[in-house]
């Protein structure tokens, strides 16, 4: 078959309709700052780190083992380990598009060779099933993850097609997709995968190839699910969203990553098929989830047991799950909804999630990661061994690798492609959704050139300057998102110097811009007290502090020796100030409750001694960077 | 070999030394009241219910499948299902001792036949390993549960020996124990079981047979554990207490039932070997656990993921685990510590656990059960299907059976043997630890007869009358526990009518009692507000209400239609009263917080409308008895 990529601008998501048009990695470049630093670390360290671990733990050898007929005996890793190789390849493809990275290009080429040879003639490709000594193909749709692995293979293939990276993997992905359509089509296997992702992958392959069957198959998977087509499991069918049809659910539920990948695929299907009811259903579920099932950080998924959304308002800060991959999935979903609707709320949640979950996971050196992102850590853990895999759910330390290592690879592909999630265009202008030092260059309707350079010290500083670098004589519109958190005090300075207060949503200037014109957004960066809905029982009597897009936290590292964050109380009537290092200071106390044989009594807590103290608050994303610590986001108020 | 039972009084635990001497089922009989009702339901319904489910789901057929050589193909149930047959047999043995129940006696006889035939000539007995098509014996000590199954087999055997029920099962148990000693002795397999219980079973078999090797093997298992002899697992070695030696731990940790069974076995070993250091270690761990890791109900284990203790003060009421079996294990441990030390605190916790976890689990008809006992249920569940197994962790409804059905069988053996946990003796008298309508008859030192009849309306009523029914001319001492919760207002009325205030611990009268003499304990039954240690973050700003030994709760059933327990607030400055049905009433309000797109804001909750209301509070153990409901124990206080 002949594949005609839609374009080579390097866009992960390319809806054929929608309110806003995404820009690709060749149209938006991050040039420095908070996110530029993280992209550099990702390129210089994480990609190689992940690849070397995947070699070390045998996940790459599994493909060779298939070719050599020894996979039934030699296979290592969990049943879904193929998918992590594919996620990493996707990340490397975006990195090649971003920087021409030679290590990434060479790695893709090398991996492609071994993966290509492991594909069966009919397109089947999986190292955990279907070979001597293994289970039959598709004998365990609940847990086998075969379609999930195809999903990530296809996403990698799409990334390769859209970045113009040569090699056989795109064809491998297309053959796998064709195999899926043949096997799971209307008259085939009536199942779905226990872990969604193939839905959005197939839609994107449709978008890049124009082959309608991929879209039809994705739509079929979305509509099949929710009718009990999978077997019941201990966690219940809700775990993999097979308990209620996608369009009938009230809110996202079950396993958080599964729910958010499924919703992303449903949006893709809805947009391409004109299924406005389905799109509205996902918007409604998103709104309910954000209002009742989301952490202050944007983190999703409260439960450790099944990595799942809890009931409404069950959002315990200690033992929060808030999986890194759920944050990645949430940003992917928000992006799709933003493109479809143009509603700034979706970009608001993406910002919150990027700064407070996705930026929290990796260590500064890009070689260890939080799999879960708790909001309250009570016990100081040890430093993790750097030479072994770790349990994923330990939340006190960043670890180099996990037996389930989706998060490091999901981060890699997110950071490499991050520029594609910052700015959109429509016929008449540009919309800046996320602030970063960046250069933007694209064409508006009629081929009119439009380019800007974005300069900001965000998130430390609240000034964002958009300088026009390319323009044309006719007026066009430059828009910039004003976050909901900046409702009180945001101002926009137009190129002519006029200053006006702006509220949440988009602030725009329409003008016949000249090169050098500057639009300046000034966001209020004073720290803010935040309280929680009283129905979130776990947060009663506490407050949090935010500054700009950042959630702050108290960390034991900043307390007197031997004192712990459980001793912290803050005085919400005293002003928040800032110290010389830019950290926020709250007035409050350190308490020492008395110890008792039984912790429940009429006067429990009455004997707690409190000594006045200044409580230093640092960005949550930086916690545990100075060594193991205890930490809390939600701070009890002075009694 | 010749087995000489220590006696046939029907005692589950018979230490050779200790501060207090336990009395058996033939010495203490429950004659009615709160626990008498539950014993009757257990005998009339639960034993048969459990047996019929074990047949239905194939757990009993597994033994026949071994004999018929088809177990590798036909086996059903989890790897530890044998143990549930043994637990049920143990419960039936106690029931035969209690009432001579013919169904129980006949069932034991029938089960014994099939189990006996499944035992290998060398004593090995397990339906999940060691046969054609199965894993090798002891090839998976982490998860295989073979020694765990022996533990319950041996406990059943001990119960049969101590109740004089005839049949081959006691010999089967002894052969299995001998096999364990040969296989896991000092020069044998150096492993331990991933799930403790065999330790306490072996000590009890030592106590009943006098064979030292069983004690030595138990001591060996206790000392081996904690040195990383088991493989690491995703939950970490702490899950099965293999991370730190038993005597070095600070508090109970890891899987709650495992931790509590292990501690019980360690107490048994310590008592029989004079290892005071080990006993002191368990006492210390118990105290730390009760002070920092135990729910108000006495429930233990906060985490769903690994059914484990959480960190100190992590005790979320919603999503509490508080497994029924952990409560059973906690009572077993408390009983051992009480016998060893005579400290009333252990009986205090047992009382709390019995009334608020163990009494909570079964439905009134004894045919459905809570596996977990949450303290806050936010969502109304459906009524469970009566014809299928249920996931164990669903917490909103009592279910007839679970794929892991330890709880129904643990309840069965606990209820059948409950009389043995009420009263002890020492050389000079009787100690009444738990209040129930009961008759007690035993001999003190020198063969002096001592008997009492206990009459009480407890826990509804606070008067407990001990009437002497057997005595001898010399003075002896009648003691009754005064619970810690009754610190304010308990009084003892002596046989001569003198009345005196008594404090927590034991209240005693020493006298040359005459038949008919009455000692009367009067406990203050006014409802009490209770607060939590401020370090339990999840309970900040809430109070609970207790009355006598009962924890109370608010249930949606008692609220106006359409209102939910999440709306409840109570006024702690207003008095608690009692309605005509005996329910407690609190003054307070029903609130309706406003809905917002995002649940965090500077003024979150400020728009909540509150309407004054009387909040009806019912015993926690009765919740969900009137149909599915939402429920909460900890009640937010009026803002």
Q: Which residues contact A2 (CB under 8 A, 6 or more apart)?
A: none
CB contact under 8 Å between B604 and A317, yes or no, is no
From the CA of B199, how many Å to the nearest CA of chain A?
A: 28
Q: If we measure between CA atoms, which residue out of B308, B301, B391, B305 comes closest to residue A305? A: B305
Q: For residue B5, what pLDDT band results from cuts at 50, 70 and 90?
A: low
Across A355-359, average pLDDT: 98
CA-to-CA dists, residue B485 to B117, B285, B616, angstroms: 52, 22, 22
Long-range CB contacts (< 8 A, 24+ apart) of B570-578?
A: B570/B543, B570/B615, B570/B635, B570/B636, B570/B637, B570/B638, B571/B637, B571/B638, B572/B529, B572/B543, B572/B637, B572/B638, B576/B526, B576/B527, B576/B529, B576/B545, B578/B527
From the CA of B404, how many Å to the nearest CA of chain A?
A: 10
CA-to-CA dists, residue B603 to A545, A611, A634, B564, B593, angstroms: 13, 28, 15, 23, 12
Q: Which residues contact B443 (CB under 8 A, 6 or more apart)?
A: B449, B450
Q: How far apart are CA A330 and CA A285, in angstroms?
A: 13
**pLDDT of the residue at A264:** 98
Chain B environment of A379 (Cβ under 8 Å):
311-312
- pLDDT tens sequence across B115-170: 999 999 999 999 999 999 999 999 999 999 999 999 999 999 999 999 998 789 99
Q: Has residue A4 got a pLDDT over 70?
A: no
Q: How far apart are CA B104 and CA B96, in angstroms?
A: 6
Q: How far apart are CA A429 and CA A513, in angstroms?
A: 11
Report the topology of domain A423-522.
Immunoglobulin-like (2.60.40)
Residue B379 contacts A where some CB pair is shorter than 8 Å: yes
From the CA of B250, how many Å to the nearest CA of chain A?
A: 14
Residues 570-629 of A with CB under 8 A from B: 591, 593, 595-605, 608
Confirm if A302 and A309 have CB atoms less than 8 A apart. yes
**pLDDT of the residue at B576:** 97
E strands, B52-145, in order:
none
CA-to-CA dists, residue B571 to B4, B589, B634, angstroms: 62, 8, 13
Nearest to A598 among B319, B484, B596 (CB): B484
Q: For residue A391, what pLDDT band results from cuts at 50, 70 and 90?
A: confident
CA-to-CA dists, residue B180 to B132, B168, B223, B381, angstroms: 22, 19, 16, 45
- pLDDT tens sequence across B278-330: 999 999 999 999 999 999 999 999 999 999 999 999 999 998 999 999 999 99
Chain A environment of B634 (Cβ under 8 Å):
537
| Average pLDDT for chain B | 95
Chain A environment of B319 (Cβ under 8 Å):
303, 310, 314, 316
Q: Has residue B173 got a pLDDT over 80?
A: yes
Least confidently predicted of A51-55, A576-580, B87-91, B252-256: A576-580
**pLDDT of the residue at B582:** 85
Instruction: Give the distance, in angstroms, between the CA of residue A90 and the centroid of all CA atoms in the same chain.
Output: 15
Chain B environment of A636 (Cβ under 8 Å):
534, 537, 540
Q: Has residue A456 got a pLDDT over 80?
A: yes
Q: Has residue A232 got a pLDDT over 60?
A: yes
CB contact under 8 Å between A600 and B484, yes or no, is no
Residue A304 contacts B where some CB pair is shorter than 8 Å: yes
Q: Has residue B340 got a pLDDT over 50?
A: yes
Q: Has residue B571 got a pLDDT over 80?
A: yes
**pLDDT of the residue at A5:** 60
CATH number of A21-421: 1.50.10
Q: What is the dihedral of CA A35, A40, A46, A48, to 10 degrees?
A: 160
Predicted structure pTM score:
0.94
CB contact under 8 Å between A378 and B291, yes or no, is no
Q: Has residue B604 got a pLDDT over 50?
A: yes
Task: Number of helices (H) and strands (E) in chain A: give both, helices first.
Answer: 15, 23
Q: How far apart are CA B227 and CA B221, in angstroms?
A: 11
DSSP label of B593: P
N-to-C CA span, chain B? 71
State the sign of the Cα–Cα–Cα–Cα dihedral A356, A359, A365, A368: positive
Q: How far apart are CA B312 and CA A245, in angstroms?
A: 41
State the sign of the Cα–Cα–Cα–Cα dihedral A128, A131, A132, A138: positive
Q: Rounded to 5 degrees, what are φ and ψ at B17?
A: -140, 170
Chain B environment of A610 (Cβ under 8 Å):
none
**pLDDT of the residue at B152:** 98
Q: Has residue B226 got a pLDDT over 80?
A: yes
Nearest to A605 among B235, B314, B533 (CB): B533
Q: For residue B562, what pLDDT band results from cuts at 50, 70 and 90?
A: confident
Nearest to B604 among A531, A603, A608 (CB): A531
Confirm if A494 and A463 have CB atoms less than 8 A apart. no
Residue B393 contacts A where some CB pair is shorter than 8 Å: yes
Chain A environment of B390 (Cβ under 8 Å):
none
Q: What tokens appear for B361 in the block?
A: 């689990």
**pLDDT of the residue at B74:** 96
Q: Has residue B54 got a pLDDT over 70?
A: yes
Q: For residue B2, what pLDDT band results from cuts at 50, 70 and 90?
A: very low
Q: How far apart are CA B587 and CA B576, in angstroms?
A: 7
- pLDDT tens sequence across B472-484: 999 999 999 999 9
Chain B environment of A563 (Cβ under 8 Å):
none
Q: Has residue B605 got a pLDDT over 60?
A: yes
Fold match between A21-421 and A423-522?
Answer: no
Q: Has residue A1 got a pLDDT over 50?
A: no
Q: Burial of B67 by CB count in 10 Å (0-12 exposed, 13-18 middle, 19+ buried)?
A: middle
Across A314-322, average pLDDT: 93
**pLDDT of the residue at A2:** 44
User: What residue in B sits closest to A235 (Cα-Cα)?
Assistant: B391
Least confidently predicted of A509-513, B40-44, B485-489, B562-566: B562-566
Residue B35's H or E segment, with its range, is helix B33-41
Q: How far apart are CA A438 and CA A310, in angstroms?
A: 38
Size of interface A-B (CB pairs under 8 A): 176
Percent of chain B clearing pLDDT 90 (strictly above): 92
Q: Rounded to 5 degrees, what are φ and ψ at B347?
A: -70, -30
- pLDDT tens sequence across A466-481: 999 999 999 999 999 9
**Domains of chain A, residue spans:** 21-421, 423-522, 528-636
Instruction: Give the distance, in angstroms, between the CA of residue A387 and the centroid of all CA atoms in the same chain.
Output: 27
Three-state DSSP state, A349: helix
Across A265-290, average pLDDT: 98
Chain A environment of B604 (Cβ under 8 Å):
530-534
User: What residue in A sits closest to B534 (Cα-Cα)?
Assistant: A605
CB contact under 8 Å between B604 and A540, yes or no, is no
N-to-C CA span, chain A? 71
**pLDDT of the residue at B344:** 98
Q: For residue A389, what pLDDT band results from cuts at 50, 70 and 90?
A: confident
Secondary structure in 3-state letters for A311-322: CCCCCCCECCCC
Q: Has residue A343 got a pLDDT over 60?
A: yes
Q: For residue A395, what pLDDT band results from cuts at 50, 70 and 90?
A: low
Q: Rounded to 5 degrees, what are φ and ψ at B153?
A: -60, -45
DSSP label of B419: G
Q: How far apart are CA B299 and CA B324, in angstroms?
A: 8
**pLDDT of the residue at A273:** 98
User: What residue in B sits closest to A537 (Cα-Cα)?
Assistant: B538
Q: Has residue B264 got a pLDDT over 80?
A: yes
**pLDDT of the residue at B1:** 39
């Amino acid at each position: 078959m002949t594949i005609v990529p839609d374009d080579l601008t390097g866009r992960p998501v390319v809806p054929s309709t929608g309110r806003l048009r995404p820009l690709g990695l060749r149209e938006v470049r991050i040039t420095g700052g908070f996110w530029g630093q993280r992209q550099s670390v990702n390129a210089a360290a994480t990609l190689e780190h992940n690849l070397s671990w995947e070699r070390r733990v045998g996940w790459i050898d599994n493909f060779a083992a298939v070719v050599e007929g020894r996979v039934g005996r030699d296979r290592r890793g969990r049943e879904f380990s193929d998918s992590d190789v594919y996620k990493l390849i996707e990340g490397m493809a975006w990195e090649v598009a971003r920087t021409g990275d030679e290590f990434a290009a060479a790695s893709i080429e090398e991996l492609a060779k071994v993966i290509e040879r492991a594909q069966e003639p009919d397109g089947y490709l999986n190292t955990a099933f279907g070979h001597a000594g293994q289970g039959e193909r598709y004998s365990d749709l609940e847990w086998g993850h075969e379609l999930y692995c195809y999903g990530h293979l296809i996403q990698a293939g799409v990334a390769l097609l859209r970045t113009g990276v040569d090699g056989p993997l795109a064809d491998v992905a297309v053959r796998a997709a064709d195999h899926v359509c043949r096997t799971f089509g209307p008259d085939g296997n009536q199942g779905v995968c226990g872990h969604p992702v193939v839905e959005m992958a197939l839609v994107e392959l449709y978008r890049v190839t124009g082959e309608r069957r991929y879209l039809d198959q994705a739509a079929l998977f979305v509509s099949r699910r929710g009718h009990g087509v999978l077997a019941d499991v201990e966690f219940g069918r809700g775990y993999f969203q097979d308990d209620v049809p996608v369009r009938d659910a009230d809110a996202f539920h079950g396993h958080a990553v599964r729910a958010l990948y499924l919703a992303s695929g449903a949006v893709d299907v809805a947009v391409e098929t004109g299924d406005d009811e389905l799109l509205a259903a996902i918007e409604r579920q998103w709104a309910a989830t954000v209002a009742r099932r989301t952490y202050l950080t944007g983190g999703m998924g409260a439960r450790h047991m099944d990595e799942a959304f809890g009931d409404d308002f069950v959002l315990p800060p200690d033992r929060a799950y808030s999986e890194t991959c759920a944050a990645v999935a949430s940003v992917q979903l928000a992006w799709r909804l933003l493109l479809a609707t143009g509603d700034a709320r979706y970009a608001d949640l993406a910002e919150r999630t990027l700064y407070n979950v996705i930026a929290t996971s990796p260590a500064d050196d890009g070689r260890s990661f939080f799999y879960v992102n708790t909001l309250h850590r009570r016990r100081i853990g040890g430093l993790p061994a750097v030479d072994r895999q770790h349990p994923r759910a330990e939340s006190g330390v960043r670890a180099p690798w996990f037996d389930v290592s989706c998060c490091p690879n999901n981060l890699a592909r997110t950071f490499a492609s991050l520029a594609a999630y910052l700015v959109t265009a429509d016929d008449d202008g540009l919309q800046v959704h996320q602030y970063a030092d960046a250069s933007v260059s694209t064409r508006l309707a009629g081929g009119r050139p439009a380019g800007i350079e974005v300069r900001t010290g965000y998130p430390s500083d609240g000034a964002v300057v958009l300088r026009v670098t390319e323009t044309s004589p006719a007026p066009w519109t430059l828009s910039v998102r004003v976050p909901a958190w900046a409702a009180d005090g945001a101002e926009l300075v137009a190129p002519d110097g006029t200053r006006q207060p702006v509220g949440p949503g988009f602030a725009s200037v329409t003008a016949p811009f000249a090169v050098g014109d500057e639009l300046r957004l000034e966001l209020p960066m004073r720290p803010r007290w935040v309280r929680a809905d009283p129905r979130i029982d776990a947060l009663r009597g506490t407050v949090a502090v935010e500054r700009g897009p950042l959630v702050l936290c108290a960390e034991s590292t900043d307390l007197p020796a031997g004192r712990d964050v459980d001793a912290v109380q803050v005085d919400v009537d005293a002003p928040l100030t800032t110290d010389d290092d830019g950290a926020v200071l709250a007035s409050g106390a350190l308490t020492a409750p008395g110890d008792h044989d039984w912790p429940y009594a009429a006067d429990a807590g009455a004997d707690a001694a409190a000594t006045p103290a200044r409580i230093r608050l640092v960005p949550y994303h930086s916690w545990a960077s100075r060594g193991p610590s205890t930490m809390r986001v939600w701070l009890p108020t002075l009694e």
